[in-house]
């Protein structure tokens, strides 16, 4: 809408390229499809339809009824990555989940005695901070909270405000003196322990303690979705990341690999949980992107089938 307003009369008879079908309902703005029609655009090329039931083809239909040529499907998988949080929210009714970890080249996230700061270099660590700016919420398990005492906050000033910080703490072990309470922003602790004294101590420190029948990825995501959270960065550790992996409740993985070998039979790997018993059960990553960040590698990929299911390609 803003681009059309800026173009003014230059939009008349032009081709408009969109990453998503223009909406056909009133929300924060009037229907975008009406703005396209009013601008006099002659042709619309869109990557994909909008799965929101308030639009879901109605925007394209409105354009076609007004005599505008409509083409759909160009670069749709790229559009899924761009609109991932919105699409997962509308299609699967939960926040989009990114698994993130930093590891050595042999897949270790710490040494055999637990030292992990720092495996990767400064450039990779800044990349990890950028991910915090891009996600509504960040989650760690209680083991990571106790071992690393992270703040989990945004620090680069790229987002509009603080993120929601989440701790999965089944036994309610989080101390009220943890560093995350020293940074601005809301904190939610999910637990199965209804100990009133511990809950009160965390509440005084600034956390909202939510008691669940079971602290599972599905339960966490359901609660976060109810809070309006559309994207979650699972930053660690291996137990929490493994739980999301086992549940199939993740959409993208971003991994920072350092060119060093740690070894050690007891050194932790990036994913805990049950894992897979057979290689045929392993989930592949699609749309891989690999680039250098300082001396390290950043590898990002989508869960196999995610782009297809969210783009509507399977319906063609």
Q: What is the pLDDT of residues 265-285, one digit of tens each?
A: 999 999 999 999 999 999 999
What would the two tokens of residue 309 be?
């299911």
Q: What is the pLDDT of residues 111-152, one digit of tens each?
A: 999 888 899 999 999 999 999 999 999 999 999 999 999 999
Q: What is the pLDDT of residues 44-102, one digit of tens each?
A: 999 999 998 898 899 999 999 999 999 998 899 999 999 999 999 999 999 999 999 99
- Asked whether 96 and 84 are in contact (CB, 8 A), the reply is yes
Provide the CATH topology of domain 84-315.
Dihydrofolate Reductase, subunit A (3.40.430)
Question: Residue 164: is its pLDDT beyond 60?
Answer: yes
What would the two tokens of residue 307 be?
């782009």
Q: pLDDT at position 5, please? A: 85
- Asked whether 173 and 201 are in contact (CB, 8 A), the reply is no
**Which whole number is the average pLDDT over 167-194?**
96
User: What does the alpha-carbon distance between residue 276 and residue 289 come to, in Å, rounded to a whole number?
Assistant: 24
Question: Residue 35: is its pLDDT beyond 60?
Answer: yes
User: What does the alpha-carbon distance between residue 90 and residue 78 come to, in Å, rounded to a whole number?
Assistant: 18
- Would you list the domain boundaries of the chain? 2-74, 84-315
Summary mean pLDDT of the chain:
93
Q: pLDDT at position 314, please? A: 44
Q: pLDDT at position 313, please? A: 60
Residue in the block written with tokens 């003196």:
177
User: In this structure, what are the phi and psi dihedrals at residue 80, rounded to the nearest 5 degrees?
Assistant: -60, -45
**CATH of span 2-74:** 3.40.140.10
DSSP state of 273: S
User: What does the alpha-carbon distance between residue 46 and residue 161 come to, in Å, rounded to a whole number?
Assistant: 31
Q: Which residue has the higher pLDDT, 307 or 249?
A: 249
Question: Residue 297: is its pLDDT beyond 90?
Answer: yes
Kindly compute the dihedral angle of the four CA atoms of residues 19, 21, 25, 31, in this order, to the nearest 10 degrees: 70
pLDDT tier at 6, thresholds 50, 70, 90: confident
Q: What is the pTM assigned to this prediction?
A: 0.91
Q: pLDDT at position 79, please? A: 94
DSSP state of 108: B
Q: Is 159 exposed, middle or buried (0-12, 13-18, 19+ CB in 10 A)?
A: middle
Q: pLDDT at position 27, please? A: 75
**Which whole number is the average pLDDT over 149-177?**
95
The string of DSSP letters for 116-141 reads -TTSS-HHHHHHHHHHHHHSSEEEEE
Question: Residue 302: is its pLDDT beyond 60?
Answer: yes
Alpha helices (H) along 151-234: 196-205, 217-226
Q: pLDDT at position 315, please? A: 46
Buried b (16+ CB within 10 A) or exposed e, 47-79: bbbbbbeebbebbbebbeeeebeeebeeebbeb
User: In this structure, what are the phi and psi dihedrals at residue 270, rounded to the nearest 5 degrees?
Assistant: -70, -35
Q: Express as a percent the part of the chain with pLDDT over 90.
A: 85
Question: Residue 316: is its pLDDT beyond 60?
Answer: no
Question: Residue 174: is its pLDDT beyond 60?
Answer: yes
The sheet with strand 43-46 has its strands ordered as 15-18, 43-46, 69-72
Q: pLDDT at position 1, please? A: 78
Q: pLDDT at position 145, please? A: 95
Question: Residue 18: is its pLDDT beyond 50?
Answer: yes
């Amino acid at each position: 809408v803003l681009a059309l307003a800026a173009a003014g009369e230059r939009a008349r008879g032009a081709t408009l390229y969109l990453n998503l079908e223009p909406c056909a309902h009133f929300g924060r703005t009037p229907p975008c499809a009406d703005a396209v029609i009013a601008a006099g655009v002659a042709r619309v090329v869109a990557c994909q339809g909008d799965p929101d039931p308030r639009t879901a083809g109605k925007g394209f239909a409105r354009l076609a009824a007004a005599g505008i040529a409509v083409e759909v499907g160009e670069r749709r998988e790229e559009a899924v990555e761009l609109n991932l949080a919105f699409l997962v929210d509308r299609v699967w009714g939960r926040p989009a989940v990114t698994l993130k970890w930093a590891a050595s080249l042999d897949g270790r996230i710490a040494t055999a005695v637990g030292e992990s700061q720092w495996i990767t270099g400064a450039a990779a660590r800044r990349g990890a901070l950028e991910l915090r700016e891009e996600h509504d919420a960040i989650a760690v398990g209680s083991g990571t909270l106790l071992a690393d005492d992270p703040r989990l906050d945004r620090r680069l000033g790229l987002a509009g405000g603080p993120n929601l910080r989440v701790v999965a703490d089944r036994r309610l072990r989080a101390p009220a003196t943890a560093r995350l309470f020293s940074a601005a922003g809301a904190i939610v602790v999910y637990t199965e322990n209804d100990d009133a004294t511990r809950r009160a101590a965390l509440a005084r420190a600034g956390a909202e303690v939510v008691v669940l029948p079971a602290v599972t990825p599905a339960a966490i995501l359901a609660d976060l979705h109810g809070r309006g959270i559309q994207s979650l960065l699972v930053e660690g550790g291996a137990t929490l990341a493994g739980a999301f992996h086992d549940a199939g409740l993740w959409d993208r993985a971003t991994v920072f690999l350092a060119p060093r070998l740690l070894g050690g039979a007891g050194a932790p790997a990036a994913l805990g949980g049950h894992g897979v018993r057979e290689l045929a059960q392993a989930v592949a990553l699609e749309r891989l992107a690999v680039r250098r960040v300082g001396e390290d590698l950043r590898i990002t990929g989508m869960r196999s089938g995610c782009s297809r299911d969210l783009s509507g390609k399977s319906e063609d």
